[in-house]
Amino acid sequence: MTRTSDTRLRTREAASKIVASGRPAHAITVDLIYAEIRQGSRTTINDELKRWKDEQAKVEALSAALPPAVANAMLATWAIAVEHGERALDGRRAEVEDELAQAVSRAEAVEATQASLQAELAALRARLDETRREVLVAREEARGERGAKASALEKLDALALRQASDADEAVRRLDGLRDSYEQRLQQQREAHAAAEASFREELARATERLEGVQRHVMLKVSEAREAQKRTEDQLAKAVQRGERLGIELEALRVQAATLAMQLQRATQDHHAAATQANQAQAERDELKVQLANTAGRLEGTQQQAREWESRAAALVSVPGRTGKARRASGDAAKPPKEQSLP
């Protein structure tokens, strides 16, 4: 026969296994646990599963409220303490259950003996009733027969004495069995009380160790909260510094936008000035070309004038020339009219 402690332990193991496979704790049902362990009653599985779910909910809430490192340390310590407590509890529970089973067996034996005595007492009572009926019959016969009165009275007295003796013996045996049963039951109660006291002492020691672990964990939690507070203060200062930098950055963005607009206008002015410079350069180049052409024509005219002057000088130096020749030479010596510049 499977013990209740084995069913409870296997229920917890099966629930942990199902959670490890990916199913959430709140979705675990009694049918899933029973399909996994194939033993125990559904009532025992349901009670242990409810306790396990409550413990899981408390652990998850505490883990969410603590830093991960502290939560992991606390969970590991709690698992060790729970495992040790469960082992001790299962051991003591098995011993108490064995003792209780033995006591129940002895009580059942005593009850069976008591039932036998009660059946015997019922038989004695039936015999007493029969004797009473016989006494009544005897009395009737005594009434009819005066001569047999003494014999009937003696028979009646004998039957009464035997009935009283049998009734006293049955009562003594029943009292003895009852005293023995009560004594054994008291011994079992004392043994159960002693076992329960020992279990409570062991549970108190385990609880004291667990409280020590909890105090250590709470100290670590307090230190973690102080560190978190310092971190939050530094974060607040960093946020304030970031806000100031954001304001300065926004001002710089506005200034950059203004400078960009000014640069855009300056670029447009530069393009306009460059366009005007290019136009002026083109006009200058055109003027240079015209000036070069004019200088070339002027130089040709001056060369032609020098040639005419040299020819006129040559004619003047020849003797006996006529006045007509002189005039001709004088006319020839005159420079030609300047051509109009284009």
Domain end, chosen from 192, 218, 242, is at 242
Q: For residues 17 and 238, which has the higher predicted lDDT (pLDDT)?
A: 17
Higher-scoring residue by pLDDT: 69, 38: 38
Q: Summarize the confidence of residues 95-114 as an average pLDDT.
A: 82
Same-domain check for residues 84 and 228: yes
Picking from 13, 43, 65, the residue at the C-terminal end of a domain is 65
pLDDT the model gives residue 170: 75
Confidence of residue 196 (pLDDT cuts 50, 70, 90): confident
Can you tell me which residue has the tokens 């019922």? 122
pLDDT at residue 323 tops 80:
no
Question: What residues make up the domain containing 230?
Answer: 69-242
Residues 211 and 135 in one domain: yes
Question: Which residues have a Cβ under 8 Å from the Cβ of 49 and sit 6 or more positions away?
Answer: 11, 15, 28, 30, 33
Residues 79 and 60 in one domain: no
At residue 67, the 3 state secondary structure works out as coil
User: How far is 297 from 288, CA to CA, in rounded Å?
Assistant: 14
Q: What is the pLDDT of residues 123-132, one digit of tens each?
A: 888 888 888 8
Half-sphere exposure of 51 (CA within 13 A, CB side): 10
C-alpha to C-alpha distance for 118 and 82, rounded to whole angstroms: 50
Q: Write the pLDDT tens digit of every residue in 138-173.
A: 778 767 777 666 776 787 788 778 878 887 887 788
How far is residue 39's CA from residue 33's CA, in Å, rounded to a whole number?
A: 9
Q: Which residues contact 73 (CB under 8 A, 6 or more apart)?
A: 217, 220
Same domain, 213 and 227: yes
310 or 266: which carries more pLDDT confidence?
310
Asked whether residue 73 falls in the same domain as residue 132, the answer is yes
In a domain, 255, yes or no: no
% of the chain surpassing 70 pLDDT: 84
Do 146 and 183 lie in one domain? The reply is yes
Domain total of the chain = 2
pLDDT for 200 beyond 60: yes
Please report the DSSP string for 183-233 in residue order. Answer: HHHHHHHHHHHHHHHHHHHHHHHHHHHHHHHHHHHHHHHHHHHHHHHHHHH
pLDDT tens profile 267-282: 888 788 788 878 878 8
Is the pLDDT at 325 greater than 70? The verdict is no
Contacts of 93 by beta carbon, 8 Å cutoff, 6+ apart? 4, 5
Which contacts qualify for 178-181: CB closer than 8 Å, 24 or more apart? 178/114, 180/110, 181/107, 181/110, 181/114
In order of 96, 187, 189, the CA distances from 109 in angstroms are 20, 16, 17
**pTM tops 0.75, yes or no:** no
Whether 334 has a pLDDT exceeding 80, the answer reads no
Indicate the DSSP class of residue 27. Answer: G
Residue 222 has pLDDT above 80, yes or no: no
Across the range 204-210, mean pLDDT stands at 77
